[in-house]
Amino acid sequence: MSEAVPFDVDTYLSQPLVARVAAVGSSGGPTIRPVWYLWEDGAFWWLTGPWSGLEGRLREDGNVALVIDSCDLVTGCTRQVRATGRAEIVAADVPRVRRTLARYLGGDEQRWEPRFRHYLEDPAVRLVRLVPERLAATDLSFRPSR
């Protein structure tokens, strides 16, 4: 990121927020999907597999845009991180899959719904890796009017 960053992006991205990923593929129109993600090693990672229409689009054309944003109406804290680049589908790294799921579900795997535990063993599970070509952070915070 070459421009001035208005907040600590790594700290912001370490929260269990939801990213929205936009991809085009051969159909021409964009597909936008929410994903649980992990920000690690300068890359965004999320799970995919045969259940995901997004996976097919990424295989056709890996160019994506991703946004993570939050708005707290009580405090006015409003932040946004946008990334663009070429996503690639890679083999599942089970420890990384586990870290991704634990961010959202907690550390006690026995309390996870079975469908999430299944992702740790399913050979069809893959990871998508996006090393941003462009990463921008914006602080749109405001003073609440109450």
Residue 2 pLDDT exceeds 50: no
Q: What is the pLDDT of residues 22-46, one digit of tens each?
A: 997 666 778 899 999 999 999 999 9
Split at pLDDT 50, 70, 90, the class of 83 is: very high
Number of domains within the chain: 1
Average pLDDT over residues 92-101: 96
Question: What is the pLDDT at residue 145?
Answer: 87
Q: Is residue 102 assigned to a domain?
A: yes
- Identify the CATH number of the domain in which residue 74 sits: 2.30.110.10
Q: Is residue 113 assigned to a domain?
A: yes
Residue recorded with tokens 């700290």: 11
Q: Is residue 146 assigned to a domain?
A: no
- What does the angle CA 109 – CA 111 – CA 117 come to, to the nearest 5 degrees? 45
Q: Is residue 144 assigned to a domain?
A: no
Residue 1 pLDDT exceeds 50: no
Residue 87 pLDDT exceeds 80: yes
Q: Is residue 49 assigned to a domain?
A: yes
Q: What is the pLDDT of residues 114-145, one digit of tens each?
A: 999 999 999 999 999 999 999 999 999 999 98
Instruction: Indicate the pTM of the whole model.
Output: 0.91
The two three-digit tokens of residue 106, written as one number: 């907690």
Q: How many CA atoms lie within 13 A of 20 on its CB side?
A: 8
Burial class (CB in 10 A: 0-12, 13-18, 19+), 99: middle
Question: What is the pLDDT at residue 16?
Answer: 95
